[in-house]
A and B are shown apart, each in its own frame.
Chain A
C-alpha cells in the first residue's frame, strides 16, 4: 500500500541539558560529535531518498532533543540534503523544535531561508520557579525574546508546548500560564498542552519512587486539564487531539499523520519509521549510528490486518474528530461494527464513546479515560 506521500522525522539528540522529566533520547555533546552526526544524518537521508523515489514528502519535522542547539549552518545542510534527496511538496509543512534559551536572530533567519515554515517552542510554563523545578534552562523572559525574534523573522505558524500537572503547580498558576500565552501578540496558532507523565528512567521517575516528587493530586490534575480546554477555547483554539489545540486551519499536519496511519521515515539516532505496514527503529548507540547511519534500522513489528485495525482505532481515537466508519470500511473491507460492535456499544453505554455522523469518538469523559477505551482495541 504505497501512498503517494510520506512524512519525514529528523531526530537531533542533543540538548544543553536534559530536563528532569524527559525520556527522549538526548544528551549534551561537543561540536565535533555534532558535526559528525550531521554528516551521518545526511548520508542516511540520501539513502532514504533512494529507497522511496515514488513518494513525495508532505511534511518534515526536526525534533529532539533540541534541534536549535545545532549551529544554523548545520540545519541549512540538513535541509539542503532533504531537498536533494527527496521530492519535497511545495506546500510541505516543515517544523523545527526550539528551546527558547537556544534561539538567536541568526538561527531563526536561517531556518526561514531554508524553507522551515513552522516553529515549535518548548515553553512549558510562564513561571520561572516552575521552569526551574522542571530542569528547563530558560526563563519566561528568554521565551518572550525568542518568540519576538521568530515573529520578526517572519514565522506565522508557531506552536507553544505547555505542561500541566507539574510539581508545585496550582490551578491558579496554570491558568496564568495559559492566559499569558494566549495573549501573546501575535498569539501562537497552535498550543500543545500536556499533562506531565512521570516516566521510568528519568530523574522525576526516581524522585517519584523515592517519594520526593510532590505532584498535584489526580483531581487537581484533571481540573487543570479541563481548565485547559475551557480557557483555550475561550481564546479561539479548538482541541483536535487529546493534548493538541489550534486556531482553525493550523493543526499540525505532521503529527496528524501519525494518528491516521500515514507512512513516515525517521532519520537519526533512535528514530522510528513506519513503512509498508512495518515499524522500524534506528539504533540508539551513537557510535554504531555514526559508522553506518543507513544500516542501523531494525524491524520492530510487522502489522497484520488485526493490528492495523487496532492501531486505526487507538490512534484515530486520539483525534477529537474520532474515527470514520466509512474510512474503516474503505481500508479494511469490513464494517467497523462487525469488528468492534461489542466494544463500541459497551463504551457508549459507559459514556466514554459517542457515535455521530459516521464518526466514533471519545466523549469529554472518554478523553480523560482514553486508555480504558483503547485497551479494548489491542
Chain B
C-alpha cells in the first residue's frame, strides 16, 4: 500500500461497472459499454466543483463515489458554526478554516484513490484558462452573481465557424444545483446548445426591497426597523466603519438599534435571529434537500461523462414542502442571448468605419454599461485591440477602414472584448443596406 494505491480492489466498483459494461435501452448517444470508460473517468477526466458549501460537500462525496478520479474544488469561504447542520465534511474544530481545503482533505481521506485539489479563492481570481482545463464544471453556488460570472466565462469559450456553426469541441458542459429550504433545482447547461443562465435569468425571483421613505418615516414591520438600522443608521452613526455582517459586535449593534426603533414605533417581533436573517439575507438550508439536488447533479455529470444513461433535458425543479414533487422542463435557448448566442444581431452601415461601429456598439442600449474601451476581432484576427499599447498601435489603422472592407460583403460575427465584460460579447453584424437580415434564424439549428 503505497502512495499509488487507488484502493481499486476487485468488486469495489461492481455497481458502477454494471452501468458501464452493459448496453442498455435508455442510454446516452453513442454509448458503447467498455472497461475503458471507468479508466477514463478515474484517470483522465477532470471535474471542477464550484462551491464547497452545502451542495459542494455533497457533490464532492457523490462525484468521488461515482468514480471520478480527479476533482478540483474552489471556494472562497471559511467554515462557520452555522454550516455544521448540513456541511458534513466539517467539524466544530474546523471553524475558521478554508472550506475548500478541509473538504478536499476529508474526501481524499475517506475515498481512496481520488485526488481532490482545493482552491481557496474567489472564482474571479482564476484566469479563464483555468476553467478551460476541466471537462465539466459542477456548480454548488448560492448567488446569481457567481453563476452569471462563470456562465460568461464558459460561454466565452464557444467558437462558431464562419457559417455560424457551433464548434462542438468548444462546449464546456455545466451542471448547476441550487437549494432553498425544501426546494431546489438541478440543471444541465450545454452552452450554445441548451439555455445558459442568461437565457433564463427570469427564473430567479427579484429580491424584495423596501422604499427608503417607508424605512425612514413609516416603518410597520420588524424588517423595516432592521433595514433602517442597516441601510440608514449605520452610515449616519458609524461613518468611518464598513459594516461586516460576520462581525458579532456589528450584528449586535444592528439588532439593538432595530429593537430601539421598533419599540419607539410600537412594533413587535424584532429578534436577533430575524436581524441576522434580514441583514445577511439568509437562505434557510437543510441537509436532505442539498443531498437530493447534489445527487441529481452528480448523476448528470456521470451521464455526461460516460453516456451510460440518457441525460436530463434540461431543468429539474424539486419541491419537498408538501409531499414530494418534481418536474423537468426543457427550457429553450434565447437565440439572441448576449452571452451564449452566435451573436447579438446588430445592423450597421457597410461603409461605416470600425471606429464609428465601435461607437455605435457603446451607444447600444443592449450593452449599456458593459462597454467602455472595446477590442474587436473577427474570425480569430484582431481588428482593433485597446491594449496593450503595442497591439493598439498595430491595429489602430483599422479604425478608419470600413466594415465591408474588414468583414466582407455579407458582414459576419465579431467578438468584442472589454474590461467591463466577464466574457466575450459576440456581435453578428448585418449591413443595413443589404437585402438579408442577420442570419440568426438560418443557424437556429445550432441551438
Q: Is chain B found bound to chain A in the same assembly?
A: no
